[in-house]
Amino acid sequence: MISRRGLMLGSAAAGVLCAMPSAIGQVPASIDTLPPTAPLKRIALSAREMDVRLLGPDKPATRHFCAYDGEPFKIFRFERGTRLAVDFRNELPDPTTVHWHGIRVPYLSDGVAPLTQEVIPPGGTFSYNVPLPDSGFYFFHPHCDETGQVGRGLFALLVVDDPEERKVRFDAECFIVVKDWRLGEDGQWIDMSTDEGAATAGTFGTVRATNGSVIPPRVEVPAYGDVRVRTIVADATRVIDLGTDHEEAALIAVDGQAVLPPAVLDHLPDGIWRMGPAMRADLQVRMPGPGQEVKVFDYRSGEPYLLTTLVAVDKGLKKTAFRPKALPQSTAPMPNLAKPQKLDFLLQVSAGPTIISPALPADDPLSKALVDSLCVGARTHWAISRDSWSTGEALRLPPPLNQLKDGTTYLISCTNVTKHVHPMHLHGHVFRVLSSSKKKGMPQYLADTVIVEPNETVDFAFKATSGNWVFHCHILEHMDTGLMGWFRVT
């Protein structure tokens, strides 16, 4: 396993590249995404349990809720170009890690045991080097016992601001956090995962909520103003169709990356944006006159589910023509689509553990690495092209799905041959979604997570960065029961 010493921030921040031997042998180069002169901000971060009244102020408190710094749904904001030195302490009763979802960190700070670090035991500490090279809307969460810990609330939002983006002015900002709870009538947790759910669409919450509340929020914003509505599906299972009852709305960013040109929501297929677990979307909503309302819905439910109501109040603004606002272009590396290397992967059902990729050489210590049993499910239900992740008693780390070259562009065709949707997330990269065999009217866009529907092929491309990077379904039970693999990039 990689030692904590190998992860110490000081050595990572001292230069843009670090490749060191560790307890698992020579690892790929861990490439920093900011120069060593980047401004440094050191923060302390903890994860711990607390009691929260999730069902309402007059209902029993839910015990063993998990939160960072003791604050549910905490929002962190920093400037683009800042390097975070994160001193993390695990105050939970179980091991954990921290994964910086969507942030292009050096892979040794990616938070995936055993590829990048050991699990952090109760009472343990860990130092993460988290450069912030790109503006946008991100979040962070554990990557061990993710179904259980995220299911009980362990995640936080991370907004990276940029002076250039601030020039694109909005009159208000509103966050929508979609997160259900698996609670019994007494307000206490019930099993986060079921075998039936893990083998199908996932185990859904028993209580729907927005921003932690069972009562959809009402937010006052300026009449005739432009509101930036930033939505995240933080749930482990739920897929939503994000939309409004108002014509003047546009999709301006996906997973923190600008949509260029912005897409008027009504011009997208079915007038909605489909989002699965871990996906983020920024909408620009032009408000109507004073006293009027705009409702933001999940239209995927049997009956549209109200997420948030925006209430227009008079702040002296005058009515003007609606024009979607273009955010600055992404600063992430873009794929070179002239001559990409093509890779094909199938998302499949699996009746048990299966591996067909070539094994790592016997002298590669990762060939002997074991995945912590807390980090995986009990059974295998899924695979990527007949390679399944560790589960149950089969805890040996599987070999990589493929070995890639740093700086090379890869075009992945991902085909879902199962009956269920899979939001697929690639760590450490921003990719360009090129096409879908089903969504013919969908524009190309940048993302870190993309939904692949049943019997659909989605093509996306990225420029590979050195490291060991996992690729998995973000319906967490699917990930826990086989639907994860990894790429080695050297």
Q: Give the start-to-end residue ranges of the domains of the chain.
A: 4-164, 172-313, 341-489
* Domain 172-313 in CATH 2.60.40.420: yes
Q: What is the mean pLDDT of residues 309-330?
A: 98
Residue 487's closest CA among 428, 387, 404, 413?
Answer: 404
Cis status of the peptide bond prior to 261, with omega within 30 of 0: yes
pTM, 2 dp: 0.94
Q: Which residue bears the tokens 């698992």?
A: 24
CB 268 within 8 A of CB 442: yes
Q: Which pLDDT score is estimated for 19?
A: 40
CATH for 4-164, options being 3.30.70.1230, 3.90.100.10, 2.60.40.420, 2.40.50.100: 2.60.40.420
Query: For residue range 187-202, what is the model confidence (pLDDT) as tens digits?
Result: 999 999 999 999 999 9
Q: What is the mean pLDDT of residues 453-466?
A: 98
Q: Do domains 4-164 and 172-313 have the same CATH topology?
A: yes
Q: Cα(290)–Cα(49) distance, rounded to whole angstroms?
A: 42
Q: Is the pLDDT reported for residue 463 higher than 60?
A: yes
Paired tokens of 2: 């990689």
Q: Which of 6-20, 369-383, 463-477 has the lowest mean pLDDT?
A: 6-20
3-state secondary structure at position 196? helix
Residue type at position 333 = P
Q: Which pLDDT score is estimated for 475?
A: 98
Q: Which pLDDT score is estimated for 125?
A: 98
Q: Read off φ and ψ for residue 16, nearest 5 degrees.
A: -85, -5
Query: For residue range 333-377, what is the model confidence (pLDDT) as tens digits?
Result: 999 999 999 999 999 999 899 999 999 888 887 888 999 998 999
- Of 60 and 16, the one with more pLDDT: 60
Q: 486: Cβ–Cβ under 8 A, 6 or more apart, which residues?
A: 115, 398, 400, 401, 468, 469, 470, 471
CATH class of 341-489: mainly beta
Confidence of residue 449 (pLDDT cuts 50, 70, 90): very high
Q: Cα(453)–Cα(415) distance, rounded to whole angstroms?
A: 9
Q: What percent of the chain has pLDDT over 70?
A: 95
What distance lies between CA 295 and its chain's CA centroid? 25
User: DSSP readout, 367-432?
Assistant: GG-B--GGGS-SS--EEETTB---BTTB-BPPPPSEEE-TT-EEEEEEEE-SSS-EEEEETT--EE
- Of 5 and 279, the one with more pLDDT: 279
Q: How far is CA 290 from CA 225, 244, 287, 324, in A?
A: 10, 18, 9, 21
What is the gyration radius of the CA atoms in the chain, in angstroms?
22
Q: Is the pLDDT reported for residue 256 higher than 80?
A: yes
Q: Which pLDDT score is estimated for 441?
A: 80
Confidence of residue 7 (pLDDT cuts 50, 70, 90): very low
Residues counted in the chain: 490
CB 338 within 8 A of CB 464: no
Q: Which pLDDT score is estimated for 3?
A: 37
Give the pairing of strands 293-298 and 305-313. antiparallel
Q: Read off φ and ψ for residue 270, nearest 5 degrees.
A: 65, 5
- Of 20 and 468, the one with more pLDDT: 468
Q: How many CA atoms lie within 13 A of 161 on its CB side?
A: 11
Give the pairing of strands 40-52 and 25-26. unpaired
